Amino acid sequence: MHSHARPSRPPISLENRVFIALLQSADALAQEAEQLVKAAGLTGAQYNVLRILRGAEPKGLPCRGIGDRMISHDPDMTRLLDRMEKRGLIIRARQTDDRRVVKTRITPQGLSLLKTLDQPVRDLHKRQFLHMSAARLKILSDLLEEVRNRKPA
């Protein structure tokens, strides 16, 4: 008789398990946030752009500056900004002192929309982490910062 043993898989390393857990956790949390901002007619990326631009007031930022601050990098930032400008959420203007630079700023309409989302987003984050103590959240925050600040391999 032949035994049809399955080929053995290499054991999953701790690092691999942590990597997968981080991605799954980030995805689950992001999906909830995406649903919240979707109700306001925004994508997660658009919401992120508005938050970035509110923080950059009154000067605004060039496209690259926005891209550098994004949580998830959008490969087509120009098209994303085009859609937001058409909706009146942002404005873009070429600089008079350096015509190569186009600064993007949030409009009053964009600020107003963002303001309506501030409390619901805070409430969502509270609910998402309600099961964890403040001390454990601080440890998690510190650990994740350590991962982000590592020297690339």
Would you say 108 and 118 are in contact if contact means Cβ atoms under 8 Å apart? no
Mean pLDDT of 136-153: 93
Lowest mean pLDDT among 19-28, 30-39, 67-76: 67-76
**List of residues 6+ apart from 72 with CB closer than 8 A:** 44, 45, 48
Q: Which residues pair with 61 in a beta bridge?
A: 104
- Give the start-to-end residue ranges of the domains of the chain: 28-147
Could you tell me the pTM of the whole model? 0.84
pLDDT beyond 90 at 10: no
Query: How does residue 65 score in pLDDT terms, banded at 50, 70 and 90?
Result: very high
Pick the CATH number of 28-147 from 3.40.50.2000, 1.10.10.10, 1.10.645.10, 3.30.420.40: 1.10.10.10
Half-sphere exposure of 80 (CA within 13 A, CB side): 21
Question: Which of 119, 120, 39, 56 is CA-nearest to residue 90?
Answer: 56
Q: Quick one: what percent of the chain has pLDDT higher than 70?
A: 96
pLDDT at 33: 96
In sequence order, which ranges of the chain are alpha helices (DSSP H)? 14-38, 44-55, 63-69, 77-86, 108-128, 134-148
